[in-house]
Amino acid sequence: MHIAGSPSVTDADTALVDIPDGALAVTADGRIDYCGPYGELPAQPGDTVVDHGEAFLLPGFVDTHVHFPQTYELNAYGGGQLLEWLNNCIFPAESRLADPAFARTIARDFTRARIAAGTTAAMVFGSAFPDAQDELFAVTQRAGLRIVSGRGIQTQGPESAAPLLTSEADAIALTTAEIDRWHAADTGDPDTARLLTAIVPRFTLSVTTETLANLGDLYAEVRDRGVYVHTHLNENNRPGTGEIDLVKQLFEVESYLDTYDGKFLPGSAVGGESLLGRRTVLAHCVHCTDAELARMAQTGTSIAHCPTSQLFLGSGTMPWKRTVDAGVTIALGSDCGGGDEWLIAKVAGDAYKVHISEPGEASVAMHPAQMLFTGTLAGARALDAESRFGNFDVGKEADFLVIEPHRWPPLERMLHNGVRDDDPERARDQTLFALLMGMREPAIARVYVQGIELDPDAI
Ligand code: GUN
Ligand code: ZN
């Protein structure tokens, strides 16, 4: 099953392709050559054939927001919402990556978690420490996964964040060095690379107007090299003391988005270059104004939608219909460890649950094809890589998962025994819904990137 072509989220249902006895042919250089009925497969003598029996093949999942330094902090008890949790759990946890041995171990565990969850591509919020980022990129390269990442930039913060802070000059120097070292380091060309870099200010409260100005200058220099921007926006709206109100009080801006849009001076006056654009991914966006959503759509900036994390941190619910209507690309993010699940199918299930729970007219039952879309093709779109992966269109790089329901008996029982409609299309939708809601990591038998099967033990 996959979402073919290049639909909008509202057309994902008509783009859903389901081939019950299907075949996927992959060229020697890892591209999709054929996706269709097995009976019509134009096989050549000498082709290797792998029979996956009753397994499902899905495109690899794309996680557009996940924190590598928080690998061991899923389910961390912070005794409060975002800012308490950062202060009590996350800043201390992330400070441990200063130790190179710890950094090596956590980079490997993070990467194994990605393979286990079938997350073939990810926008990874990085560590403050360059050595830890080196470990992350190196192990990702050994594993054969795709990554966009950058060191988390912090130039101000509470006492608990002290080990993560740098001077203004180092913030720029370290970020520039990381881009020079790792951007397209594997192939030398961002259009073919699996390793790509991003400029990652943690969030507005972690930086100064000077940092924002410097990062704007840096981005103006490296934007054309295919570098990304990644940060958080409009996550916690606790009145007075929450993230959004503090941004507005401290920076005296009209909107939070303005701080990333070059308008970070009092009254939202222009102070530098914008960080927005088609390779910018903003996590959460739960509490955006219409003007913020319109500006994101206008600039091609995408949203990493993280419902699992929003439940865990009490951040509220991104209004699905209003955000879709604004025309912004919405992809899924686990936000581990704010989110407590690595598996994007689980995040899609949480999206379904929170959006059906929206009040009154806003309540919506996401179509299962929309769930698959936001976890695969929309993720590729948010990463400006839709022409490369995200579905099984001929010519794309072959990132796919083999899901074997018998490896997770609750899933197998749902698929075999659940009620199915007489209408074949409805029955197909029900099966996809059960597959996404019911799968867990053990059901993911094999993970392929560019036609190569990944081996978690080889890293
Ligand atoms: N805002 C700033 N830092 C973080 C983080 O680590 N996680 C989440 N969910 N939000 C943030
Ligand atoms: Zn986050």
pTM, to two decimals: 0.98
Question: What local confidence, expressed as pLDDT, does residue 151 receive?
Answer: 98
Ligand number, closest to the Cα atom of 309 = 1
User: How high is the pLDDT of residue 43?
Assistant: 79
3-state secondary structure (DSSP) of residue 226: coil
Query: Is beta strand 228-233 parallel, antiparallel or unpaired with respect to 195-201?
Result: parallel
Query: Could you identify the residue written with the tokens 């249902």?
Result: 13
Copy the structure tokens of residue 236. 């916690």
CB 245 within 8 A of CB 279: no
Residue 44's pLDDT is what? Answer: 82
Catalogue the E-assigned strands of 255-370: 280-284, 302-305, 330-332
pLDDT at 357: 98
Residues, Cβ < 5 Å to ion ligand 2: 283, 335
- Mutate which of 203, 238, 284, 308 for ligand 1? The one with the most ligand atoms within 8 Å of its CB, which is 203
Predicted pLDDT of residue 390: 98
pLDDT digit string (tens) for 81-132? Answer: 999 999 999 999 999 999 999 999 999 999 999 999 999 999 999 999 999 9
SS3 of 144-165: CCCEEEECEECCCCCHHHHHHC
* Residues whose beta carbon lies within 6 Å of some atom of ligand 1: 67, 82, 86, 90, 202-203, 232, 235, 309, 335, 338
Q: Cβ contacts of residue 204 below 8 Å, gap of 6+?
A: 212, 231, 247, 251, 256, 259, 260, 264
Q: Ligand 2 mean position to 304 CA, how many Å?
A: 9
C-alpha 327/C-alpha 297 separation (Å) is: 6
CB 205 within 8 A of CB 197: no
Residue with tokens 């025994």: 417
Res. 46: pLDDT tops 90: no
How far is residue 238's CA from residue 95's CA, in Å, rounded to a whole number? 26
What is the torsional sign of CA 163, 164, 167, 173? positive
Nearest atom within ligand 1 for CA of residue 335: 9
Give residue 188's region: left, alpha or beta (phi > 0; psi -120 to 50). Answer: left
pLDDT of residue 149: 99
Residue 133 and residue 106 in contact, taking contact as beta carbons nearer than 8 Å: no
- Alpha carbons 424 and 140: distance in angstroms, whole number: 41
Cis peptide before 337 (omega within 30 of 0): yes
Give the bridge partners for 282, in sequence order.
Answer: 231, 303
Residue 78 has pLDDT above 90, yes or no: no
Long-range own/partner contacts, residues 47-54 (CB < 8 A, 24 or more apart)? 52/402, 52/404, 52/445, 53/404, 54/404, 54/405, 54/406
Q: Is 122 exposed, middle or buried (0-12, 13-18, 19+ CB in 10 A)?
A: buried
What lies within 8 Å, CB to CB, of 68 at 6+ separation is: 106, 107, 110, 124, 125, 126, 127, 132, 136, 149
The CA distance from 33 to 21, in Å, is 17
As beta bridge partners, residue 228 has 198
The 3-state DSSP class for residue 22 equals strand
CATH 3.20.20.140 assigned to 61-383: yes
Mean pLDDT of 42-46: 84
Alpha-carbon gap, residue 101 to 107, rounded angstroms:
10
Q: How confident is the model at residue 348 (pLDDT cuts 50, 70, 90)?
A: very high
Q: How confident is the model at residue 79 (pLDDT cuts 50, 70, 90)?
A: confident
Q: Where are the domains of the chain?
A: 2-59+399-453, 61-383
Residue among 20, 121, 15 at smallest CA distance from 397? 121
CA 164 / ligand 2 centre spacing (Å): 16
Computed over every residue of the chain, the mean pLDDT equals 98
**CA-CA-CA-CA torsion sign (14, 20, 25, 30):** positive
Can you tell me the mean pLDDT for 414-433? 97
- Quote the pLDDT of residue 447: 98
322 Cα–ligand 2 center, Å? 22
Query: Are the C-beta atoms of 253 and 262 separated by less than 8 Å?
Result: no
What atom in ligand 1 is closest to the CA of residue 232?
A: 1
372 pLDDT exceeds 90? yes
Q: What does the pLDDT look like over 255-305, one tens digit per residue?
A: 999 999 999 999 999 999 999 999 999 999 999 999 999 999 999 999 999
Per-residue confidence band for 233, with pLDDT thresholds at 50, 70 and 90: very high
Q: Both tokens of residue 321?
A: 């219909």
Per-residue pLDDT, averaged over 422-444, amounts to 98
Ligand 2 centroid from CA 309, angstroms: 8
Q: What is the DSSP letter of 40?
A: G
Helix (H, G, I), strand (E, B), or coil: what is residue 98?
helix
